[in-house]
Structure formats: structure tokens, C-alpha cells
Amino acid sequence: MIFKLAYKNIIGAGLRTWLNIFILSLSYFAIIALQGFFVGWQDDASREMKNWYIAGGQYWQESYDPYDPYTLEDSHGPIPEELQKLISKGEAISILISPATIYPEGRMRNIVLKGIDPKQDLIELPTKYLTDPNGEINCIIGSGFADNMNIKEGDFIVLRWRDKNGVYDARDIKVAHIFFTTVISVENNQIWIALDALQEMLNLPGEATIIPVKDELYKMEFSGWQHKDLAFLLLDLTNLIKTKTIGSSIMYVLLLFLAVLAIFDTQILSIFHRRKEMGTLMALGMTRSKIIQMFTLEGVLHAVLAILMGAVYGIPLLNHFQKVGMQLGANAKEWGLSGLDDALYPVYGWKLVLGTVILVLVTITIVSFLPTRKIAKLKPTDALRGKMTK
Amino acid sequence: MFKFLAKGLLRDRTRSFFPILIIASGVMLTVLVYSWMSGFSVMLIYESARFKTGHVKIVTNAYNELIDQKPYDLGLMNVDDKIETLSSEYPDVHWQPRIYFGGLLDLPDEKGETLSQGEVIGFGVDLFTDSFEHDLLNLEEALTAGSLPTKNGEILISQEIADKLDINIHDVVTIIGSTMYGSMAMDNFTVSGMILFGVQAMDRGAIIVDISDVRSFLDMENSASEILGFLPTYNETKTFEISTAFNETYFDEDDEFSEIMIPLRTQGQMEYLIATLEGYMTSFIFVFIFIMSLVLWNSGLMKGIRLYGEVGVRLAIGESKGHIYRSLIYESILIGIAATIIGTSIGLVFSYLLQYHGINIGSMMKDSQMIMGATMRAQVTPVSYYIGFIPGVIASVIGAMISGVGIYRRNTAQLFKELET
Amino acid sequence: MKKLLIFILILFCTLVFAELPDGNKLLKQIDENMYAKNMISTSQMIVHGRRSSRTMKLRSWTEGDDRSFSEYLAPPRDAGTKMLKLKDKLWIYNPSADRIIQISGHMLRQSMMGSDISYEDMMEENELTEVYSAVTTGEEIFNDVNCWKLELTAIVEDAPYHTKKVWIDKEKLIPLKEERYGKSGKLLKTTEILEVMKIEGRWYPKRMIFKDILKKGKGTEFIIDDIQFDVNIPESRFSKAALRK
């Protein structure tokens, strides 16, 4: 009975109610849409990073430090037997890393040379281009680095290196393919060539610097190698997205605040305006708590109807976003945000949707209830005469 | 009439308090969000200008071809004369020579043997002639320990480097690099302070050295990597005008050491960055103002019920419907303006707060090549001052106008009945 | 005319089929000629830059393969810079910083004083016979001088260059031109001797050009003004203390 009454009451208020409901529905929509983008970003970026480089975790030769070019020359070791088995099963790949020099426009530039098995299919790096039918040493490089160096596909670049004994060698290697990636860790200042070629060049057969493995749960210990799990390898990304999420939550906190303010104002007004109605209801035998329930319910109904209204335009819109993604343009990674593709595809989990609905409902229930406490003190006689009991 | 209405508003709290509260908060949020958003692109330009691009930049033709590698051996020569000419040609533009160089920082032990070593990126900027670079690079604020250099031979190093190599204030460190001609350059400098810019690309390994020190260190007397030009305030059209005029006079494609001027927007990826950012900001602000207008429109609608009884009485005592309607609209205009002024003022206060004390959004841009601050700031622009009027006055008045139409539907015959109950 | 042609043809054939001297023997002769137990020299290094050329003067003390010491005398900016090489270690002293820094890692790959010679190249001056085995592949005229052409292949694992081609003056037994190759056969550096001189009974290069083939530029010229062989060099010369003196 209360439900029916409350429903009729708010629908009867017409445009005002619908505006309130619309604003509330926008809150739902904005929260889910924004959060969806961040979840999508996190998912996208970690997936990209896993797909392109880190797989299910990596083993690092113990002296390897990606931020220290000085130790690079000595960061290699024989591959542990257990890992070698995984590699032959295709569940791990070995990557050998060495410093080298290239000469773009005749100027020396130090770079990082990475060797990887051309036949691997554990990570997305287009390594198939590394085999050359004519016996050239092929290399692949990222498009950002290629632009920076003015290198085009099919160009030859002069590569000079020293093997483990310090013997110089240099070759013209062919840029077989320029790949686009959002993962800066596989493109920044580096050149990829075939693993066996690099092992031969450095005179380091059977050695590697890092070994990405497929299985996230694989955590065996090997001496001379350190296991780095996903949490470690994705730490920078996770932290970045966390700060971004907090930054953007300001937006929908503001929006929700506005919606709450509107509901609160509506409640106060309607309680003030409908004293006589309350008096009548009391006179007819309705208890105060029932009346409080009814008024609170009216407020909450806004939020419930907002779910429906939000669903009407929200679901198709969110679906649309999911399909087309948020276009960032081809140079999205110029923002320095690793893992951002040219479009960002949001992800909406049921946890997110349910969480949002509960958050809004609880908030609205509270603000709908607060003004109704006045009713508790209301005397039916005063109410009937249109007075507020002080 | 306005005086009468204003008195009414002041004396009857219910009729002014809530509407003003709501409109003012809405306006405040609009102003804040707008300033916050403007902060993004102004910051992008500002950060880029002060560290990297200037508003315009002069380099040699050969340098420009390898600009990503900052080859100071292909830098500008006779810089003093150049700046003098430029200053007379463009009196309102400030010209600042800079030298960027890479080097090795070496900390000795008591015997002079290497204790620790690390790669650094040197910024040779003019620290002593005036305080222009101090202000531009915000050195006072960036200082985390020690003090700014006061004399030649003193340098600032990034806090991260100091931590990594275990360097303390007043330590004497050796910087090793190579001169403009490729000879080995080595010199000792006293660390006078540590700095933290909140810009990852800088904090990883920057050292700041007075340009005169760098010039003698790198054998670059009267030379510079780049000359950056700064307008009093950034003005894109003007940067293009100046550059075009300059290049017509000085640039010669066939001379590898002729000078070329490049405006900020066409340097590197700035064009793309600014355009995308502006696109997103504009649409975001548009959506936000739309929603805010809905909220305030609704608050205008509420007026209808709030004043239901009063309007009844006024009709009963014979006031014409049109008069009541007009007075309601005037009233909502008064409320709208008052609330907008209040909201805008509070919004501006918060915006200015956010402009001077940014919010640190973290330090997780290790892989980032872009120079972008980790501290986000708002930016108050002239638009911040009036943008609140759109939702604050226009939307709320429209709300009042729609709800006020209800007056014309009221039946005079029923008025007394309504009043009786 | 016809006769002349036939004569040249016969001469050419004889040259091709003439028995070539043993490469390793030649190499040994070069070492004997070029190699002195110790020497002191004064020389000039001319670096051709993109904008201008610079001449540096330096004085060097060398003992065998392992020990050398050099001091820059000019230009004023570089004067007082000293380098000490002991086996596989290299230290550099700079007067303006008054510091001795060991050059290692990354820095070894940098060019020395802007020249086409890297610090790494400095470290690698061994007797040819210790490192390479040679085959004489023919004779050629280089700069109007009759030369034997030798191909050198490394016999030790850590030779910095896997192969070298050397043009040796048949009479004076000094290598007039040298090409250094990587293992894969890519030309990396060249040295050409443009002028020779006779000192204390042996022929020695006077003016030469080093060129890093991978780098853009005109190479680095090296002129020996004065050289003394087999002089006594006090032990203290090859100490880190000498760097600071």
C-alpha cells in the first residue's frame, strides 16, 4: 500500500521528478562508464603488457637491471634445465640482451639489442619477420623508435657490437618489419633480432638474460635467476591507473553530490508542503513510522526509477562504447601511458554495476530519510492545520 | 520592484536559502571543473614550454634534423649578438639560451677514487643574470634540500640521483662529458641543493648548472643548444607569426648551420597532444555544463511548489497573474545572480588553491618519454569568471519560467477553498 | 705499341704467378721494424669536425704493449690531460677537475678527444704476430708504392678485430694501409699512412689517417713530429702518481 502511494505521489509531481530521476540515472551511468574505462584500461594495458612482453611472469638473470646500462654487458647466464624444458614445450621463451651501437646519420648511438626465438608464439612480438630467406640478419623495431631515428621498413642499419671476449663486429642488418605496440618496454631504444643470431654474435650459445614463462603459477627457484611475478612487473601500471582512478572519481563524486542535493531538497520541500496530507493520513490511522517509511520510500523510488531510466539509455550507450571504444588517435602512447592503444575499450563487470547501484541506493536512502525525522515529532492536530510542530 | 523582491528574499530564509545553496554549489562545481580542465591543457603547454619547447625555439638546421638527440655540437654560435638582435626585433619576447648535455656524474672518496657513478642529463640555464629561469623552472619550489646556486661552480642535482649515488649537500662531484668538439670535458662542481620537479623525465637524472659554467665546461663560449623564446603569455597565433617572419630572414635550407625558429605547437608531438586534449576537454566541459544546467533547472522548477501557497494568496488578493509571474522570474534572476556570484567566488577560491597547490597524482611514469607533471593543477582563465552564469542564471531562470507557467493554470474560484483547508 | 702491350701483359702474368712471400714471415718482419721495447714521441692529432678542425699536441711514453702514458700539450684547453694505460685498464687525468677517472664500461666506447679513435682502440696495441696469422694474397700499388697485400686472421679469441687486410711496403716493410674487419666481414676502420720517415735506422710512419668507417666525417690525422726508440723510461712514469704531476 505504502509503495503504491509513494509511487503515485512522485509520479504525480511530473517534470520535477523526472528531472531528478534523470540526474540520478546520469550518476549511475557516469560512475559505471568512467570506472568501466579505468577497468578497461587496466585490463587492456596489463593484457597488452602480458601479451607483448611479460607473459605470466619472468625469470631475470640475477644481475639484470633494466634501468642500469652498466651491468647489461654481464647480465646473461646459461638457461636452467627446467626452464629449457618449458622453452621446448613452448611455455617459456629465452631472451638475450646486450648493449650495442648503431650509427643513424653517421652518429654513434648506444642501444639495447634483444635476441628472441623467431618461432615463438608466447608473446605477440612479430618475431616471424626475424627469419630471412636470403640469410640476412633481420631485425624488428617499434614504430616510435623508428620515427625517432628516421628508420623505415626495408632500411639497413649498421649495428656494431662486441662479443663476450670483446671482439668487435658489425653488420648491416635489415629492418624487416616495424611494429606498432603500446608497450614501451619492447620498443624504447631497442632492436630485436633472432636469438640464435645474437647468441652466435655474442658467442654465448645457450645463454639468456630474461625468460618470460607462460604459467603465472610457475615459481620454481633457480640459482642465478630471480623470479619476477606479475604483481612486480605490472606494479608501475597498477599504481598509475590507481592514481588516475582516484583523480577521476572526483568527477562522479561531484555528480552524485548534485543528485543527492536535489533529492534532499525535494524531500525537505515535500515534507514541508504536504503537512496536511500527513495530518490526514495520521487521522486515518497511519502510524508515524509508516508515514516516515512512505516518504523515505518516495526518495528511494527516485533512485530505483533512475536505475530503470539509466538502463534504458545506459545499456545501449555502454554497449556502444564497448564496441567502438574511446578513440585516442594513433599516437595515444605519446601521452606516455604504457598500454594505451588507439582506442580504449571499457569493461563493465557485474561487481562494478552492482557496487554502483548499492552505493547510490544507500546514499539516496540516507538523504531521503534524514528530512523525514521531522515527521516523528509531528502532532496530527498541527499537521491538519498545516503547521509544523516545533 | 527589485528592492522589494530583494527584501523578501533576505527576510524569508526558506525562499532564498535552499535555492541559493543549490545554485551556488552547482556554479561552484562548474567553475571548479572548468578551471581544473583548463589546467590540463595550460599545464601541458606550460610544462612543455618551460622544460622543452619554449613558446618558440631557435636551433640550427643541422640540430633540428636530430633534435630528439639534442646534439649540442651542432648548436648555435654567437648567441649574445643573436639575442641582442632578437630582443630589439621582438621587445616583448624574452629569449633564454639553454644547453642540454649528457654526462657522467662521478662522486669521489677522500683519495679521489670513484665512489659511485651515474648518468645525468645536464641543463645549462642562466641562473645568475636574472631570476627568469628560477621562476620558469620553479626552482625555489622544486628545491628539496640545500639552497640554490649563488655562485659559479655550484649545481643542483635531482633528488633521485642524490639518493641513488648517496650524495650530500656541499659534496664536490665531478662531471664528465665531451666538449662541443668532442674532447673530454671534466670539471668539479659543488652540490648546493637537490631538486624534485615532479616531472619524471627530469627527476630521473637532471642536473642544473649555470649556463656560463656549462659553456666553459663544454668549450661552448657564446654558444647554446637552443634559444627559447617566451611571450608574456602564451599566444599561439603570435608564435606562428614570429616564427614565419624569423625564418624568412634567417633560415636557409641549404646551409646546415642557418637558424630556424619553431613554434611550440609544431614541435615534436605537441600538435597531436594539444589537439586531442582540447577535443576531450571541450566535450567534457560541454557535458558537464549540460548536466549542471539540468540540476539547476530542476531547482528552478522547485520554486513552483515552494511558493504554491504564497501565489494562491497573492492571486486571492487580486494581483494579476502576469505580475506574479514576472515577479517570480525577477526573483529567480536575483537568486540566480546572487548564487552565481557566491558560487563563482567560492569556486574561484578553490580553483586558485588548486592552481597554487596542485594535487600530486603520483610518480608512476617511469617509461614516459613525455615531460608531463606528476602534479595536476587547476588554471583559472577569464572564462572561469563567467562560465558559472550559464547554469547558474540561465538554467535556473528557465526552470522558474517553466514552473511559473503553473500560475496561469490556477483557478481563482478554487483559491479560497485551497486556502481554507 | 703492340710490343709494349705484350710486355705489360707478360709482366702482369709474372706478377700474378710469382711466388708470394710467407705472410707470417712478413708479419714478423713488420713487428721487428715497428716494435720497439720502448719509445717516447711527440705528435699531433688533427680532428676534422663538422664545423672546424682542431689540432692537439701530445707527448707519449710507451713500453711494450702493456704500458703507455700520454700527456696533451696543446691546445691550452686540453693541455695537462694525461692518460695512463696499464694492461687492460685505462685512467685519465684532467687538470681542471684534478681527478683521475678510470674509463670503463660505456665510456670505453666513446671517441677519444673527438677523434675517430675510441678509448677501446687505445687499449688494443699488440704485436701483430701475437694475435694474427697472415696469408699473402697478392701485391698491389698503394699511393705509388709497391705493396704486398696480406690477410690477417685472428688466432686468439679476444682479438678485437677478427680479420685485417694490410698493404705492406715491399721495401720499407711498414704497413701503409690497414683495413679492420668484423667477424662477419664488415669493414670497420681504416688506417692509411701518407708519409713515412727513417729514424734510427728504421722506417716509421710520419703522417697517417684513422677513419671509423661507420661514423660520418673525414677521419683523424696523426702526425709524428719526433720519436726516440729504446730510451730509458723511469718506472715511475707508468704510475697513477705520474698522472697528477
pLDDT above 90 for A219: no
Ranking A361-365, B43-47, B296-300 by mean pLDDT, the lowest is: B296-300
pLDDT of residue A340: 58
**For chain B, what percent of residues have pLDDT higher than 70?**
89
Give the per-residue pLDDT at C177: 94
The residue range of the domain holding B176 is 56-230
Q: How far, in Å, are A56, A216, A226, B30, B409 from residue A91 at the CA level?
A: 10, 11, 18, 54, 78
Joined grid coordinates for residue A125: 612480438
Planar angle of CA C155, C156, C159, nearest 5 degrees: 105
Tell me what pLDDT residue A389 has: 56
Give B-chain residues touching C81 at CB under 8 angstroms: 184
Q: Does A384 touch chain B (CB under 8 A)?
A: no
Q: Which chains touch C (3 or more CB pairs under 8 A)?
A: A, B
Cell of C8: 705489360
Coil, strand or helix at C46:
strand
The SS3 call for residue C170 is: coil
Nearest residue in A to C212, CA atom: A106
**Other CB atoms within 10 A of residue B421 CB:** 9
Contact yes or no for B197/B157 (Cβ under 8 A): no
For chain A, positions 287-326, list CB contacts with chain B under 8 A.
none
Same domain, B77 and B118: yes
Band (pLDDT 50/70/90 cuts) for residue A329 is low
* Dist. CA A250–CA B284, nearest whole Å: 14
Pairwise CA distance, residues A76 & A97, whole Å? 8
Question: Which of A263, A272, A283 minimizes the C-alpha distance to A361?
Answer: A263
- The grid coordinates of residue B287 equal 557535458
Q: What would the mean pLDDT of C24-35 be, rounded to a whole number? A: 82
CA A201, A203, A204 angle in degrees (round to 5)?
110
pLDDT at A376 > cutoff 80: no
Q: Is the pLDDT of residue B94 over 90?
A: yes
Provide the pLDDT confidence category of residue A377 given band limits of 50, 70 and 90.
Answer: confident
Name the band, by pLDDT with cuts 50, 70 and 90, for residue A98. very high
Query: Is B336 a domain residue?
Result: yes
* Lowest mean per-residue pLDDT among B79-88, B123-132, B373-382, C27-36: B373-382
pLDDT in the model for residue A257: 80
Phi, psi angles (nearest 5°) of residue A255: -65, -45
A109 touches chain B (CB under 8 A): yes
Q: What is the pLDDT of residue A274?
A: 77
Check CB contact under 8 Å for C100 and B112: yes
**What is the reported pLDDT for B246?**
93
Contact B178 C92 (CB under 8 A): no
**Range B206-217 average pLDDT:** 94
Tell me which of B47 and B211 has the higher pLDDT: B211
A371 DSSP 8-state letter: G
Per-residue confidence band for C35, with pLDDT thresholds at 50, 70 and 90: confident
Distance from CA of B301 to the nearest CA of A (A): 6
Phi, psi of B301 (to 5 degrees): -60, -35
Q: Determine the average pLDDT of the residues in A264-279.
A: 77
Cβ-count burial C26-39 (b if 16+ within 10 Å, e if not):
bbeebeebbbbebb
Q: Which H or E element spans position C101?
A: strand C99-102
At A14, is the secondary structure helix, strand, or coil? coil
- Give the model's pLDDT for residue C151: 93
Tell me how crowded residue C203 is: count the other CB atoms within 10 A of its CB.
Answer: 17
Q: What angle do CA B142, B146, B152 make, to 5 degrees?
A: 95
Instruction: Provide the pLDDT for residue B362.
Output: 45
Q: Do B178 and C97 touch (CB under 8 A)?
A: no
Distances (CA, A) of C48 to C51, C55, C111: 8, 9, 13
Q: Which of A88, A109, A97 is nearest to A160 (CA)?
A: A109
Q: How many CB pairs under 8 A join A and C?
A: 61
- Do the chains contact at C214 and A170, CB–CB below 8 Å? yes
Q: Tell me how far apart the alpha carbons of residues C244 and C80 are, in angstroms, rounded to a whole number.
A: 9
> pLDDT-derived band of residue B341, with 50, 70 and 90 as boundaries?
very high
- Specify the number of domains making up chain B: 2
CB count within 10 Å of CB C225 equals: 11
Nine-digit cell string for B164: 641513488
Report pLDDT for B371. Answer: 39
Residue C8 banded pLDDT, cuts 50, 70, 90: low
Per-residue confidence band for B15, with pLDDT thresholds at 50, 70 and 90: low
Q: Which of C113, C114, C110, C46 is nearest to C82 (CA)?
A: C113
Using a CB–CB cut-off of 8 Å, the residues of B that contact C are 62, 73-74, 104, 106, 108, 112-114, 119, 174, 176, 178-179, 181-184, 186-188, 219, 256-257
- Measured between alpha carbons, how far is residue B362 from residues B366, B376, C67 in Å? 11, 10, 53
In single-letter form, the type of residue at position B183 comes to S
pLDDT tens digit sequence for A20-54: 888 888 888 888 888 888 888 788 888 888 888 98
Q: Using CA atoms, how far apart are residues A31 and A15, in angstroms rounded to an integer?
A: 24
How does the average pLDDT of chain B come out, rounded? 83
Name the β-bridge partners of C59.
C42, C71
Q: How far is CA C91 from CA B409, C62, C104, C107, C236, in A?
A: 99, 15, 9, 11, 15
Instruction: Judge whether B364 is closer than 8 Å to chain A, CB to CB.
Output: yes
Question: In the predicted model, is pLDDT for residue C122 greater than 90?
Answer: no
Instruction: Label residue A334 exposed, middle or buried (CB < 10 Å: 0-12, 13-18, 19+).
Output: buried
Look at residue A209 and give its three-state secondary structure.
coil
Confidence class of residue B363 from pLDDT cuts 50, 70 and 90? very low
A 62-121 residues inside an 8 A Cβ radius of C: 69-70, 73, 99, 101, 103, 105-108, 110
What confidence tens digit (pLDDT) does each residue in C77-94 have?
889 999 999 887 889 998
Interval C164-190: pLDDT, tens: 999 999 888 888 999 999 888 889 999
Q: Give the mean pLDDT of B243-256.
A: 91
| Inter-axis angle of helices A350-369 and A15-49, nearest 10 | 150
In a domain, B250, yes or no: no
Query: Best of A167, A201, A204 to disrupt the C interface by mutation (most C CBs within 10 Å)?
Result: A167
- Whether residue C208 is predicted with pLDDT greater than 70 in this model: the reply is yes
pLDDT of residue C229: 87
User: How many of the other CB atoms lie within 10 Å of CB of C115?
Assistant: 23
pLDDT reported for residue C3: 61
Distances, alpha carbon A357 to alpha carbons A11, A28, A314, B288, C140, in Å: 21, 7, 13, 21, 89
| Chain A CB contacts of B417 below 8 Å | none
Mean pLDDT of B339-367: 75
Calpha distance B68→C68 (Å, rounded):
39
pLDDT, residue A371, reads 82
B19 within a domain of the structure (yes/no):
yes
- Pairing relationship of beta strands B184-195 and B154-158 according to DSSP bridges: parallel
Average pLDDT, chain A: 83
Distance in Å, alpha carbon of B14 to nearest chain A alpha carbon: 10
Least confident of B233-237, B279-283, C7-11, C112-116: C7-11
Nearest to A334 among B272, B292, B305 (CB): B272
pLDDT at position B420 is 53
- Same domain? B207 vs B64: yes
Q: Is C162 on the interface with A (CB under 8 A)?
A: yes
SS3 A210: strand
What number is the average pLDDT over the span B390-396?
82
DSSP A105-171: GG--EEEEEEEE-TT--SS-S-GGGG--TT-PPEEEEEHHHHHHHT--TT-EEEEEEE-TT--EEEE
Chain A: partners with 3+ C-beta pairs within 8 Å: B, C
As a whole number, mean pLDDT of residues A193-221 equals: 90
Give the lowest-confidence range in A109-118, A377-386, B243-252, C232-241. A377-386
Q: What is the CA radius of gyration of chain C?
A: 20
Which ipTM did the prediction report? 0.79
Q: Do A265 and B269 touch (CB under 8 A)?
A: no
Using pLDDT thresholds of 50, 70 and 90, give the confidence band for residue B261.
very high
Are A258 and B291 an interchain contact pair (Cβ–Cβ within 8 Å)? yes
Q: How far is CA A92 from the centre of its chain?
A: 26
Give the C window 110-149 contacts with A, CB below 8 Å: 111
pTM over 0.80: no
Chain centre to alpha carbon of residue A125: 21
Mean pLDDT of C198-203: 84
Whether chain A has a CB inside 8 Å of the CB on C19: the answer is no
State the smallest CA–CA distance between residue B45 and chain A in angstroms: 13
Rounded CA separation A382/A390 (Å) = 10
Mean residue pLDDT across chain C: 85
**pLDDT at residue C145 tops 60:** yes
For residue C210, give the 3-state DSSP assignment.
Answer: strand
- Select from B297, B306, B372 the Cβ nearest to the Cβ of A269: B306
**What is the rounded average pLDDT of the residues C208-235?**
89
Flag if B68 and A148 touch (Cβ within 8 Å). Answer: yes
> Could you tell me if B186 and B326 lie in one domain?
no
Chain A residue at shortest CA distance from C106: A70
B341 CB near a chain A CB, below 8 Å? no
Residue B67 has pLDDT above 90, yes or no: no
Joined together, the cell numbers standing for residue A213 give 614463462
Distance from CA of A119 to the nearest CA of B (A): 28
Over residues A292-300, the mean pLDDT reads 85
Q: What is the pLDDT of residue B151?
A: 93
Whether the per-residue pLDDT at B213 is higher than 70: the answer is yes
From chain C, pick out residues whose CB is under 8 angstroms from the CB of B119.
106
Assess contact for B337 and B15: CB atoms under 8 A.
no
Cα–chain center distance at B51: 14
Judged against a pLDDT cut of 60, whether residue C1 lies above it is answered with: no
Substitution target in C106, C116, C161, C190 with the highest count of A β-carbons within 10 Å is C106
Look at residue A191 in the predicted model and tell me its pLDDT.
Answer: 95
What is the 3-state secondary structure of chain B?
CHHHHHHHHHHCHHHHHHHHHHHHHHHHHHHHHHHHHHHHHHHHHHHHHHHHHCCEEEEEHHHHHCHHHCCHHHCECCHHHHHHHHHHHCCCCEEEEEEEEEEEEEEECCCCCEEEEEEEEEEEECCCCCCHHHHHCCHHHHEEEECCCCCCCEEEEEHHHHHHHCCCCCCEEEEEEECCCCCEEEEEEEEEEEECCCEHHHHCCEEEEEHHHHHHHCCCCCCECEEEEECCCCCHHHHHHHHHHHHHHHCCCCCCCCEEEEEHHHCCCHHHHHHHHHHHHHHHHHHHHHHHHHHHHHHHHHHHHHCHHHHHHHHHCCCCHHHHHHHHHHHHHHHHHHHHHHHHHHHHHHHHHHHHCCEECCCCCCCCCCCCECEECCCCCHHHHHCCHHHHHHHHHHHHHHHHCHHHHCCHHHHHHHHHC
User: What is the Cα–Cα distance from A137 to A159, expressed in whole angstroms?
Assistant: 10
Express each pLDDT in B167-189 by its tens digit. Answer: 999 999 999 988 888 888 899 99
Q: Is B257 within the bounds of a domain?
A: no
Interface residue B25 vs chain A (CB under 8 A): yes
Nine-digit cell at B267?
A: 614541435
Q: Are residues B32 and B76 both part of a single domain?
A: no
- Dump strand ranges (E) for C49-87: 53-63, 67-74, 82-86
Distance of residue B182 Cα from the nearest chain C Cα, in angstroms: 4
> What pLDDT does B359 receive?
66
* Predicted pLDDT of residue B218: 92
Ranges of beta strands (E only) in C103-219 are 132-142, 145-154, 163-169, 175-181, 187-199, 202-212
Tell me C109's DSSP state: G
Is residue A135 within 8 angstroms of chain C, CB to CB?
no
The per-residue pLDDT for B171 is: 93
User: All 3 cell numbers of residue B244?
Assistant: 614565419
DSSP type of residue A184: G
> CA–CA separation, C245 vs C234, rounded Å?
14
Class of domain C21-64+110-228 as given by CATH: mainly beta
- Check pLDDT > 70 for residue C125: no
Q: Report how far residue C164's alpha carbon sits from residue C177's, in angstroms, rounded to the nearest whole number.
A: 10
pLDDT of residue B199: 67
A171-194: average pLDDT: 89
Give whichever of A128-137, B405-414, C9-18 has the largest mean pLDDT: A128-137
C240 pLDDT higher than 80: yes
Pairwise CB contact (< 8 Å): A273 & B421: no
Residue B91 backbone phi and psi in degrees, to 5 = -60, -25
| C122 shares contact with chain B (CB less than 8 Å) | no
Which of A245, A254, A264 to probe the B interface (max B CBs under 10 A)? A254
Comparing alpha-carbon positions, the chain B residue that sits nearest to A268 is B18
The answer, for C220 touching chain B at a CB cutoff of 8 Å, is: no
CB pairs under 8 A between A and B: 110
Phi-psi region of C219 (alpha: psi -120 to 50; beta: other; left: phi over 0): left
In a domain, B245, yes or no: no
The pLDDT value recorded for residue A109 is 85
Average pLDDT over residues B62-77: 87
pLDDT value for A16: 75
Across the interface, whether the CB atoms of A22 and B369 are under 8 A apart is answered no
Q: What is the pLDDT of residue B262?
A: 94
Q: Give the mean pLDDT of A285-297.
A: 83
